[in-house]
Structure 1
Amino acid sequence: MRAVLVDDEQLALLQLKRIFEHDIKGVDVVETCSNPHEVVEIVTRHQPDVVFLDIQMPEVNGLKLGERLQSSMPSIEIVFVTAYDRYAVRAFELYAIDYIMKPVHSQRLQLTVQRLSEKIKVKNESQPKEMNTPFLFCFNQIRYQLPGEEPQPIKWRTSKARELFAFLLHNRGRSVDRSTLTELLWPNLEESRAQQQLYTTIYHIRQTLKRIGMDTVTINSVDLETGYRLTVGEVQVDVEQWENKLKQLAAPSLELVEEYEQIFQQFEGNYLGDYEYLWAEHERERLRILWLNHTKSLGKLYIKHGMMEKAIQVYRTVQQQLPDEEETYFTLIELYDALGDKGGVEEQYWLLSSRSEKEWE
């Protein structure tokens, strides 16, 4: 596992690096950084698996920096390091895999590294690198992957082109009326101008797909009155594959726990979550509910067999993905109490109280 460490305090940076070198196995610290303005360039150059990121830094807020890193590199894992637990809720909202309180202790860091290793292993196993078919990804942002290559974002000519493609992909295999498309994207233009914008944008989308080698994804004009239909051909779509695997699962059991864990980890974020498309919200919510129900089944399986630490990892991930899911906080309080972990109970109580206070503001 390749890691970059970021902290404006040199002493804290050296201490963290020393713990990795002497107490933690399997982590290669490729670079340390005390200048927050250099972080994005360093991370882009090294492409690490994880960034350990201090929150309290002068001039640059670590949470904001984490947002920038996740925006430019969606697959990167972030672990926040902080002396103030009041940042925990915001860290969860950023989908950080964990946060660690200062001073950092090797035992606590080992638990984080274990979680990272498991998540990265599942992610690597789920990546279709060796497949002969291209992929389209819709979790978080639209990306594409050609056989033998890494996933990468699509550079659209305009934001309208991106949304039009997303809407047609959302309705793939179905004909979409031209009037529906123009009302969605150009509601304030007169009909003739809106139709011209639609033709031009369809042309640019086709050119973009051809340029990136995804021209097996086709957009065909059904007829002059009806509209357009997008077909993916041999291309696989991640959310579709994920849901198919979920539906094929048998009842939870220890024999199937690895399959349950894979599907749990493969839910990388909300459907088209990086875009504020209101028309996608129903599908986002549907997929969130499927994942949440699956997660509860996995958590209950762990609890049934006395695997409390595993159950805690699952429910903490739910907090990161769905911080408004209140039931998760109560479940974690019960789990920490069962383990006699007073600190864990207090942390979850504080997180729950913080969320309640924010709702009343």
Structure 2
Amino acid sequence: MIKSIIVDDEQFTLDEIRDTINGFNELEVVEATTNPNKALEMIKKHDIQLAFLDIEMQGISGISLAEKMIEIKPNIEVVFITAYDNYAYDAFEANAIDYVLKPIRAERLEKTIKKILKIIKTEPEIKKSTLKVRFFKKFRVFNEVESVRWRTTKDGELLAYLLENVGIPIHKEKIIDKIWTDVDLKNALIYLQSSIYRIRKLFSKYGYEDTIRYANNSYIIKDIDIDCDLWSFNKYLNKKYILSDANIYEYEKIFELYIGDYLEEDAYVWAMDMQENLKHKYLRLVTNIGAYYMEKNDFNKAIEYLEKLIKVDPFYDEGIKLLFKCHYAKKEISDLKNQFTKLENIAQEEYGAYLTEEVVNYYNTLVKK
């Protein structure tokens, strides 16, 4: 028997929904109340799997009440009850968990109940499956079997934003300001709650429970056991390091994570600062690896790494000068000249700029020796 609860500030709506639910043998109404606080107490005491919530009640919105319920019971299914109102209708059409419109139509409510029952009954046995999350070049979430397909693009963007800020509580209005910039607050709150709901269900599907918490009007995602390129990259590069024979292999593996700029193809505005920060760490790493191999007199290996630096930033002077120095150390003056010409062309043709005076002067010093 699936236990349900109904919360609405209109008694006749409570009665209508309860009467319809009573027609389903698989469903039991544990409580039908106009009191949101009482509903929360019932959620704590009973294993309630389904909640029908009025989206606009006096004192608290259905969105806020759903957030509190999900905080107590992350896997609860939520159906919103709303008057025929454009903001709610449009929001749920684009971003539905599910909803029913007032005045209640029995056939629409029955359709909703059947849909929810099917979801609850067909939920597979959960087996933990390590998720892989990739931020470099494009945001992707997948495991060994499948890639996650987002119900809306904002679901993926929201998860990326939360994972970037892992362990940090973020106020819901700040999230809205970052993700739903051009949406009015009323609609944006609906979109946010709907996306949070689907992300929680996603994690639950792969065996991760209680991943997103809500308190003090803020959401926080835990440091969970996933394979995340961003977390691995920062784990190694957020600390001071000196490359050595003992750790060079590890740092070369970290180098390989950077297959493109951070969220490059997604082009999220809020990600720009992090993108620049990570790019600088990458350029520093490549330069350090190049210097490591140069000290080993493995100039070919050093050049191999340093040439990859050019593809990311042809104006990173420290790395460029080291690349020139490697060619000079190999006594490859013709290769040095070709490298300089190549860089000049890239700077002018792709960026409409010139190499810095520091780099040009360093090059001239080498070729005149």
TM-score scaled to structure 1, two decimals? 0.54
1:310 Cα deviation from its structure 2 partner: 1.0
Mark the CA change 1:348 to 1:198 in structure 2 (over 3 Å): closer, same or farther.
Answer: same
Task: Check conservation: 2:154, 2:195, Cα contact below 8 A.
Answer: yes
Residues 294 and 185 (structure 1 numbering): CA distance in 2 closer, same or farther, change over 3 Å?
closer
Specify the structure having the higher radius of gyration (Cα). Answer: 2
Answer yes or no: is the 8 Å Cα contact 2:132–2:226 preserved in 1: yes
Equivalent position amino acid for 1:220 in 2: R
How do 1:83-122 residues align onto structure 2 when only pairs under 5 Å count? none
Q: Deviations over 1:20-54 (max 9, x none)?
A: xxxxxxxxxxxxxxxxxxxxxxxxxxxxxxxxxxx
The runs of 5 or more residues in structure 2 that have no matched partner are 1-127, 354-369
Summarize the Cα distance change of 1:170–1:203 in structure 2 as closer, same or farther, 3 Å threshold. same
**Is 1:207 aligned to 2:210, yes or no?**
no
Distance 1:145 1:339, change over 3 A: same
In structure 1, what is the equivalent of residue 179 of structure 2?
185
- State the partner residue of 1:350: 341
Residue in structure 1 matched with residue 290 of structure 2 by the alignment = 299
With over 3 angstroms needed to count, the CA separation of the structure-2 counterparts of 1:245 and 1:132, relative to structure 1, is farther
Any idea what SS the aligned residue of 2:303 has?
helix
| In the alignment, structure 1 residue 227 sits paired with structure 2 residue 218 | yes
**Structure 2 Cα separation of the partners of residues 233 and 183 of structure 1:** 26
Equivalent pair of 1:136/1:238 in contact (CA under 8 Å)? yes
Distance 1:216 1:236 in 2: 16
Call closer, same or farther: CA 1:195–1:262 in 2, change over 3 Å. Answer: closer
Residues in 2 aligned to 1:200 and 1:255: alpha-carbon distance in whole angstroms: 48
For residue 342 of structure 1, report the CA deviation from its aligned partner.
Answer: 4.6
CA contact (8 A) 1:216 1:232 kept: no
Give the aligned length. Answer: 225
CA contact (8 A) 2:155 2:199 kept: yes
Q: Distance in 1 between matches of 2:229 and 2:336?
A: 37
Question: Quick check: 1:138 aligned with 2:135?
Answer: yes
- In structure 2, the residue matched to 1:285 is 276
Aligned counterpart in structure 1 of residue 162 of structure 2, from 168, 171, 176? 168
User: What stretches of structure 1 of length at least 5 have no aligned partner?
Assistant: 1-130
- Please give the secondary structure, in 2, of the residue aligned with 1:229: strand
Higher RCO by CA contacts (8 Å cutoff, separation 6 or greater): 1
Tell me which residue corresponds to 1:318.
309
Q: Is the 8 A contact 1:136 1:235 kept in 2?
A: yes
Task: Find the aligned partners of 1:257 and 1:331 in 2 and give their Cα distance.
Answer: 18
AA aligned to 1:189 is V
How much is the aligned-residue C-alpha RMSD, in angstroms?
3.0
- 1:161-191 deviation digits (Å, cap 9, x = unpaired): 2211111111222221121122223333332
- Structure 2: distance between partners of 1:191 and 1:248: 40
Separation in 2, partners of 1:176, 1:134: 23
* 1:326–1:352 contact (8 Å) kept in structure 2: no
Give the letter for the 1:351 counterpart. Answer: K
TM-score (norm 2): 0.53
Q: Mark the CA change 1:205 to 1:360 in structure 2 (over 3 Å): closer, same or farther.
A: same
Look up the SS of the partner of 2:199 in the other structure: helix
Query: Is the Cα–Cα contact under 8 Å of residues 302 and 311 in structure 1 kept in the other structure?
Result: yes
In structure 2, do the counterparts of structure 1 residues 177 and 302 end up closer, same or farther at CA, with 3 Å as the change threshold?
same
Amino acid at match of 1:307: D
Q: Distance in 1 between matches of 2:222 and 2:190?
A: 23
SS of corresponding position for 1:311 = helix
Letter of the 2:235 counterpart: N
One-letter amino acid of the counterpart of residue 214, structure 2:
S
Partner of 1:220: helix, strand, or coil?
Answer: strand
Contact kept in structure 2, 1:133 and 1:234, CA below 8 Å: yes
Partner Cα separation in structure 2 for residue 182 and residue 255 of structure 1: 45
Question: Aligned partners of 2:342, 2:307: CA distance in 1, in Å?
Answer: 12
